[in-house]
Chain A
Amino acid sequence: MHDLRSTDRPAPGRRGLGRRLLHSSLLEALTYPHGVDRYVELVRPLLLTRDVRAEVTAVRLQTPKSVTLTLRPNENWRGFRAGQFVGVSVEIDGVRLTRPYSPASAEQAREGTFELTVSTHPQGRVSRYLRDHGRAGKIVGLTQAQGEFVLPDPRPERLLLISGGSGITPVMAMLRTLCEEGFEGEIGFLNYARSPLAALYEVELRTLADRHAGLKVARGFTRSDTPPISGRFRREHLPAVISDHADAGTFVCGPPALIDSVRTVWAADGLPEPAVEMFTAPALAFDTDVAEGVVRFARSGREAANSGLPLLEQAEDAGLRPEHGCRMGICNTCSCRKTAGTVRNVISGALSTAEEEQIRVCVSVPVGDVVLDL
């Protein structure tokens, strides 16, 4: 699990006098204990010494259920590798929500910007917010780029990029990066969308295919039978984009069903696992009457079956000694970061499913699998 609040300092080097002054230990001492950023952000929200933030510079709507944002991050941003994702934070109803999105632009950033295409979901608060409120000038919080789903160095001679739905974004970043750097090998780009209306980057993909001799693009629409390929992923779709998939470096990103079918084909052919990245919605099914699932204490690397007791006691039973005080939800001493899973507050009965939130472990019982930063 990644810490989406990463606030690393930027690499030193290209700093002007103003920024050197901002980073000076004198200013740090004068603004003790809050730090320079807590003052500067009130006037210039991007001129920070630690936090990564970005300004939206352009907004474009490609399809009815997506929004494409161009972001210009501040100087603390260290760039990304095609295929990685970045945590984007926005404040909705007073609560800061962070969601991972993969940049879709080439690594070779233009004017220090990168592009995100966010698909909206009916239950996706952040995605809907970005579509409804994403305007030029808006400031969003960012994490540094994360993830191992990246192109290998040196590049393989042949690459196969398979994607479904919004999973197109990281492989789009890979394709654009390869085109920018003048990659001369063979690239197969196979993408699935529900319908032509939902197809992202349609025009650009055609233009790129015209311009690059080695690139073959094919689209499948899972809800219509449009040639050359129809329906969901099948082995028969592969020849449309690649001469021999067996020795191609393969990258798959999309819903679990797509990834499963690709894996099945690859396994049947006796090929090594392709690199995959899964975009899944959190599962909301649970039963509050029985204790099930596994509690994982990420920092200490321990794991135990959920006993149904408050997490503080489960942590203690697992041999951990978390900081705590009142053991009744009052003093907040035991507050700890939950990075995944659902918990129920034993006082209010409220269920909390948010990823990355502070919970009081003394009054929280897990509902299914939970991961704690302990």
Chain B
Amino acid sequence: MPTSPPVLDPEQLEAFGRELDEIRARVVADLGERDTDYINNVIRAQRGLEVLGRGLLFLGFLPPAWIGGTAALSLSKILDNMEIGHNVMHGQYDWTADPRLDGKTFEWDTACPADQWRHSHNYMHHTHTNIVGKDRDIGYGILRMSEDQPWRPYYLGNPLYAALLATFFQYGVAMHDLEAEQIAAGEEGLDDEKREKLQAVWHKVRGQTLKDYVLFPLLSGPSFPFVLAGNATANLTRNLWAFTIIFCGHFPEGTHEFREQETEEETRGQWYYRQMLGSANLTGGRLFHILAGNLSFQIEHHLFPDLPAHRYGEIAEDVREIRERYGLPYNTGPLHRQFASVVRKIVKLALPPLPGLRVCEPGVGDQTAEASPQQPSAADTRSRKAAATRTSPSKPAAPRTSSRKPAAPKRRARKPAAPKRRARKPAGVA
């Protein structure tokens, strides 16, 4: 993995963006029956597995039926959340005009209300990917996943919090848009909007709980405990799997973080650049990619979040070819290696920065790159990219507290979007 990706000048960035736009245009022109057949088959498989799983669990007192039923239901929930829910809600199938595949109204089999996901994920995470202080997927407001998050003794529990988040991931995701940690920290109050969101979360959690932990167990009569345990296990399996895949998307070693200053006035080419450097892929077979919701092609997904995800594998070669020509890194590896790298980061960031290395001091990027082989490139990119953008090189050295704190409240984060449009047009129209 190259530790310092080349800085592209504005012309290169524009050409880079144009080449990626062309890939996108090619796929869009080719969308058709193959894509609807694919997603309909996945939906059919998911519904079939769900009915099979719930059916088998009625005989849950027989161990093979319990195991088979739980496995089928786990797979059903994984497909529902990853390849169907996540992708449909990105609007990947809006072009079909099929109301059942409408990204705006689709609802999924998990605790998080789809509307809140559409905001916290589609907008907040995908627009502000890997911008520390703006992308709340960096640590979910619970974990320390970046050296730019100042260390506090609280973070000694980083591995424990990560394990808890993985176990109860669907509830973590459900609370994500509420920004509950800011309410808890007294930074934000529980205003009407939050109250409404909380109500929606409660409504969704109630429906999910009623189905999985009350109605199906009750209907099964004597199999009550087996169905209850099977459903809980299926939810847990889905939680662990989703956590693993999602955390491998942006946190393995070599993914880059960005700062607000350097992403202001970002052009489309720069946006692509950030998406490519901020994401990491997973290698695996076809079934693995389907179960990962094709988020194993996280880079392609972040470049083209609204293209049907089963196409990512087909365009991955073209994306790699482009990044090779521009000398940009393409972070990919098998699940075990990428996840081990994530775990190392979670553990490492639980500890305070070692004195003398000054790893979390902003503005001393080059020293950091030398001193910390675990995080060699993030700080480096930062300083180099800062020079490449219109931001003056001295700006990133601004004290952390003043640069990051004001960015946290979501309301304010929306506003900087407005001036961006004009800056982006030349690249976009071309």
On A, residues with C-beta under 8 Å from B are: 5, 7, 26, 29-30, 32-34, 38-39, 42, 91, 93-98, 325-333, 335, 346-350, 354, 356-358, 360, 363
Of B95, B118, B428, the residue contacting A95 (CB under 8 A) is: B95
Q: Which residues of A contact B94 (CB under 8 A)?
A: 332, 335, 358
Shortest Cβ distance from residue A98 to the other chain B in the assembled complex, whole angstroms? 8
Taking CB as reference atom, which chain A residue is nearest B308?
A94
Given A5-B99, A346-B425, A349-B429, are A33 and B306 neighbors across the interface (CB < 8 Å)? no
Of A32, A93, A95, A326, the residue contacting B211 (CB under 8 A) is: A32
Shortest Cβ distance from residue A45 to the other chain B in the assembled complex, whole angstroms? 12
Given A5-B99, A333-B119, A358-B94, are A326 and B417 neighbors across the interface (CB < 8 Å)? yes
B344 interfacial contact with A, CB 8 Å: no
B28 interfacial contact with A, CB 8 Å: yes
B154 interfacial contact with A, CB 8 Å: no
The answer to whether B34 and A94 have CB atoms under 8 Å apart is yes
Q: Which of B202-210, B254-262, B326-334, B382-390 contacts A (4 or more CB under 8 A)?
A: B202-210
Known: A33-B107, A94-B96, A358-B103. 13 other contacts (CB 8 A): A30-B215, A33-B108, A94-B35, A94-B37, A95-B95, A327-B417, A327-B421, A328-B268, A330-B122, A346-B425, A348-B21, A354-B97, A358-B94
Query: What is the total number of residues of chain B having a CB less than 8 Å from a CB of chain A?
Result: 58
A–B pairs, 11, beta carbons within 8 Å: A29-B211, A42-B44, A93-B32, A327-B418, A330-B305, A331-B118, A332-B91, A332-B94, A333-B118, A335-B91, A347-B429
B98 interfacial contact with A, CB 8 Å: yes
Q: Which residues of B contact A26 (CB under 8 A)?
A: 215
The answer to whether B418 and A91 have CB atoms under 8 Å apart is no
B335 interfacial contact with A, CB 8 Å: no
Within 8 A of A (CB), among B340-360: none
B25 interfacial contact with A, CB 8 Å: yes
B126 interfacial contact with A, CB 8 Å: yes
Shortest Cβ distance from residue A34 to the other chain B in the assembled complex, whole angstroms? 7
Given A335-B94, A358-B102, are A33 and B207 neighbors across the interface (CB < 8 Å)? yes
The answer to whether B119 and A91 have CB atoms under 8 Å apart is no
The answer to whether A328 and B428 have CB atoms under 8 Å apart is yes
Q: Which residues of B contact A30 (CB under 8 A)?
A: 211, 215-216, 219
B190-209 CB contact bits vs A (8 Å, 1 = yes)? 00000000000000100110
The answer to whether A95 and B97 have CB atoms under 8 Å apart is yes
Shortest Cβ distance from residue B29 to the other chain A in the assembled complex, whole angstroms? 9
Q: Which residues of A contact B21 (CB under 8 A)?
A: 347-348
Shortest Cβ distance from residue B301 to the other chain A in the assembled complex, whole angstroms? 12
The answer to whether A326 and B208 have CB atoms under 8 Å apart is no
Taking CB as reference atom, which chain A residue is nearest B103?
A332
Taking CB as reference atom, which chain A residue is nearest B51?
A39
> How many residue pairs between the two chains, A and B, have CB atoms under 8 Å in the bound complex?
127
Given A30-B211, A94-B35, are A332 and B95 neighbors across the interface (CB < 8 Å)? no
Taking CB as reference atom, which chain A residue is nearest B206?
A32
Q: Which residues of A contact B25 (CB under 8 A)?
A: 348
State in angstroms the CA–CA spacing of A93 and B97 once bound together.
12
State in angstroms the CA–CA spacing of A346 and B109 once bound together.
35
State in angstroms the CA–CA spacing of A326 and B305 once bound together.
12
Of A34, A91, A95, A325, the residue contacting B123 (CB under 8 A) is: A325
B408 interfacial contact with A, CB 8 Å: no
Q: Which residues of B contact A328 (CB under 8 A)?
A: 127, 268, 271, 417, 420-421, 424, 428
Taking CB as reference atom, which chain A residue is nearest B28?
A348
The answer to whether A326 and B91 have CB atoms under 8 Å apart is no
Shortest Cβ distance from residue B89 to the other chain A in the assembled complex, whole angstroms? 8
The answer to whether A38 and B118 have CB atoms under 8 Å apart is no
B100 interfacial contact with A, CB 8 Å: yes
The answer to whether B420 and A332 have CB atoms under 8 Å apart is no
Q: Which residues of B contact A96 (CB under 8 A)?
A: 96-98
Q: Which residues of B contact A32 (CB under 8 A)?
A: 207-208, 210-211
Q: Which residues of A contact B43 (CB under 8 A)?
A: 38
State in angstroms the CA–CA spacing of A350 and B25 once bound together.
9
B144 interfacial contact with A, CB 8 Å: no
B11 interfacial contact with A, CB 8 Å: no
B405-430 CB contact bits vs A (8 Å, 1 = yes)? 00000000000011011001100110
Q: Which residues of A contact B142 (CB under 8 A)?
A: none
State in angstroms the CA–CA spacing of A177 and B24 once bound together.
53
B134 interfacial contact with A, CB 8 Å: no
The answer to whether B108 and A346 have CB atoms under 8 Å apart is no
The answer to whether B33 and A94 have CB atoms under 8 Å apart is yes
The answer to whether B127 and A325 have CB atoms under 8 Å apart is yes
Taking CB as reference atom, which chain B residue is nearest A41?
B100
Q: Which residues of A contact B48 (CB under 8 A)?
A: 42
B290 interfacial contact with A, CB 8 Å: no
State in angstroms the CA–CA spacing of A91 and B97 once bound together.
9
Of B36, B118, B428, the residue contacting A91 (CB under 8 A) is: B36
State in angstroms the CA–CA spacing of A328 and B269 once bound together.
12
Given A38-B100, A328-B268, are A358 and B91 neighbors across the interface (CB < 8 Å)? yes
State in angstroms the CA–CA spacing of A96 and B271 once bound together.
33
State in angstroms the CA–CA spacing of A326 and B99 once bound together.
24
Within 8 A of A (CB), among B303-332: 305-306
Shortest Cβ distance from residue A148 to the other chain B in the assembled complex, whole angstroms? 25
B250 interfacial contact with A, CB 8 Å: no
Taking CB as reference atom, which chain B residue is nearest A352?
B95
Q: Which residues of A contact B126 (CB under 8 A)?
A: 326, 330-331
Within 8 A of A (CB), among B78-121: 90-91, 94-100, 102-104, 107-109, 118-119
Q: Which residues of B contact A91 (CB under 8 A)?
A: 33, 36, 96, 98
The answer to whether B127 and A331 have CB atoms under 8 Å apart is yes
State in angstroms the CA–CA spacing of A61 and B215 once bound together.
52
Q: Which residues of B contact A331 (CB under 8 A)?
A: 118, 122-123, 126-127, 305
Q: Which residues of A contact B103 (CB under 8 A)?
A: 332, 335, 358
Shortest Cβ distance from residue B134 to the other chain A in the assembled complex, whole angstroms? 12
Shortest Cβ distance from residue B233 to the other chain A in the assembled complex, whole angstroms? 19
State in angstroms the CA–CA spacing of A96 and B102 once bound together.
12
The answer to whether A330 and B428 have CB atoms under 8 Å apart is no
B65 interfacial contact with A, CB 8 Å: no
The answer to whether A346 and B210 have CB atoms under 8 Å apart is no
Within 8 A of A (CB), among B14-73: 21, 24-25, 28, 31-37, 43-44, 47-48, 51
Of A39, A42, A332, A357, the residue contacting B122 (CB under 8 A) is: A332
Q: Which residues of B contact A325 (CB under 8 A)?
A: 119, 122-124, 127
Q: Which residues of A contact B107 (CB under 8 A)?
A: 33-34
State in angstroms the CA–CA spacing of A5 and B98 once bound together.
10
Q: Which residues of B contact A348 (CB under 8 A)?
A: 21, 24-25, 28
Shortest Cβ distance from residue A93 to the other chain B in the assembled complex, whole angstroms? 4
State in angstroms the CA–CA spacing of A356 and B207 once bound together.
32
The answer to whether B417 and A332 have CB atoms under 8 Å apart is no
State in angstroms the CA–CA spacing of A34 and B109 once bound together.
8
The answer to whether B127 and A29 have CB atoms under 8 Å apart is no
Q: Which residues of B contact A39 (CB under 8 A)?
A: 47, 51
Q: Which residues of A contact B51 (CB under 8 A)?
A: 39
State in angstroms the CA–CA spacing of A97 and B428 once bound together.
29
